[in-house]
Amino acid sequence: MRYTSPPNQQSYYEQVWQLVRQVPYGKVVTYGQIAQLLPPPIDVELAAYKALSPRWVGDAMAACPKDVPWQRVINAQGQISERSGAQRQRQLLEEEGIIFVKDKVDLKQYQWQGPGHADEPRQATLF
């Protein structure tokens, strides 16, 4: 694949950061999920985008401004990717009330579904 980064890297990163800024306190999102919520850059084939975009999101998060809640982006297995800062990320998420079980976050419980989706499960009503 010929793309090592998005064609307009700064523009793509800005889109990533804008989306991550919307992730609510106490919720997480995956690299791949962020990538799926963003349109592929012009002239990038869909297959190439699907293969490369989670890494592009990771690169964007590594370069994010201070106002982006970077700690809320984790991998598709519900884990914090191993790198420097991983312990700090876990600490910040735990401070938001996110519980880890064997170094994993329960994505069914804590995953944000994206803009416009209700984040809390609906309670069944009993009649």
d(CA 114, CA 89): 21
Residue 20, both tokens: 């991550």
pLDDT in tens, 34-54: 999 999 998 899 999 999 999
Q: Is the pLDDT of residue 122 over 70?
A: no
Dist. CA 121–CA 116, nearest whole Å: 14
The predicted pLDDT at position 2 comes to 61
Q: What is the mean pLDDT of residues 100-112?
A: 95
Token pair of 45 as six digits: 């084939």
Whole-number mean pLDDT of the chain? Answer: 89
pLDDT computed for residue 127 by the predictor: 38
> What's residue 124's pLDDT?
43
Please state the rounded mean pLDDT for residues 51-65.
Answer: 95
Query: Has residue 126 got a pLDDT over 60?
Result: no
Structural domains of the chain sorted by starting position, each given as residue range(s) with its CATH number in brackets: 9-110 (1.10.10.10)
Tell me the one-letter amino acid at 107.
L
